[in-house]
Amino acid sequence: MTDDHRPLAGRTALVAGGTRGGGRGIAVELGAAGATVYVTGRSSTAGRSDLDRPETVEGTAERVDAAGGTGIPVRTDHGRPQEVRALVDRIAAEQDGRLDMLINSVWGGDPLTDWEHPLWEQDLDTGLRLLRQAVDTHVITSRFALPLMVARKSGLVVEVTDGNTARYRGSFFYDLAKSAVIRLAVAQAAELEPHGVAAVAVSPGFLRSEAMLEGFGVGEENWRDGAVKDPHFAHSESPAYLGRAVAALAGDPAVMEKSGRALATWGLYEEYGFTDVDGTQPDWRAHWNSALEPELGPLGEPL
């Protein structure tokens, strides 16, 4: 049974890359809507990933519980097929074969991104490692998770990306990774359509991840102070905003109508009416059009 406050009660989600940032925001908001959420990633209380950050899958699962859902942390390297297969086998065994939502949010590419040099001056091994971390992981996870959805002829796949247009994102390998993730949604949508499973790409705007807050020297409680350093930061959004966008999609009985599309928080809030944690409704596209387009050019039309 579901209700207006827990529309995802009884449903199961896998948030791959749910340790921090947008993935954590999605996991928590799916939990707030009543879902059971498997939270996966490489950072755990048992040991940190090479990013060496303090956030863990257990920490996210605890937040899912606190929000009203059920969080299940599973340390998983999504670049290792055998680990992903074992993860999906566990979900199938524990949830009677049920998986309603797959969120491909694995990233970890920030320290691998070179914003200063063109392709021919970049380190090739680092760039290819970024692609393996940000694209191959999504492919591997879908390969093993999709059969659960196909068998039940229902479900939603969300590919988390950056931007929903063809605009160049400023760094060769970064742009290739984020564009490829959109194409993964398009390709999965085409193959899943006969089975009643939807696939979309979803982008946040200027996301206040844990690392971003640290970079601005603020916390979520005083994040607006970061606008002193960069006035555009005043138009940023919390990970919960992205999470609420995904939860709204997951609870939409007509989500198949959106399958194959590249969506963003700045369009979805208008349709579903959700707000950020402070009650505002950030619209990064509107801010871009008014403040950034003269310098950086138009964002372009959604893919």
For residue 83, tell me if it sits in a domain.
Answer: yes
Who's near 171: CB < 8 A, 6+ residues apart? 113, 114, 115
Contact present, 17 and 42 (Cβ < 8 Å): no
How far apart (Å, rounded) are the C-alpha atoms in residues 227 and 19? Answer: 26
50 band by pLDDT with thresholds 50, 70 and 90: confident
Q: Has residue 184 been placed in a domain?
A: yes
pLDDT over 70 percentage in the chain: 99
Indicate whether 242 belongs to any domain: yes
Question: Looking at residue 109, which CATH number applies to its domain?
Answer: 3.40.50.720
CB 37 within 8 A of CB 23: no
Give the model confidence (pLDDT) of 249-293 as tens digits. Answer: 999 999 999 999 999 999 999 999 999 999 999 999 999 999 999
Question: Nearest 5 degrees, angle CA 58-CA 59-CA 65?
Answer: 85
Number of independent structural domains in the chain:
1
Spell out the residues 6+ positions from residue 294 whose beta carbon is closer than 8 angstroms to its own: none
- The verdict on residue 1 lying in a domain is no
Asked whether the beta carbons of 57 and 24 are under 8 A apart, the reply is no
Please name the residue that has the structure tokens 């993935």. 23
Q: Is the pTM of this model over 0.75?
A: yes
Strand partners, 104: 16, 159
If you search the block for the tokens 């954590």, which residue do you land on?
A: 24
203: in domain: yes
Question: Is 78 inside a domain boundary?
Answer: yes
Any idea how long the chain is?
A: 303
Q: Tokens 């707000």 sit at which residue?
A: 275
pLDDT in tens, 142-190: 999 999 999 999 999 999 999 999 999 999 999 999 999 999 999 999 9
| Residue 5 confidence (pLDDT) | 81
Stretch (H or E) spanning 207: none
What's the pLDDT tens digit per position in 25-40?
999 999 999 999 999 9
Condensed to tens digits (0 to 9), the pLDDT of residues 57-74 reads 999 999 999 999 999 999
d(CA 272, CA 160): 18
Whether 252 is in a domain gets the answer yes
Residue-number span of the structural domain to which 273 is assigned: 12-296
- Cβ pair 20, 210 in contact under 8 A: yes
In a domain, 303, yes or no: no
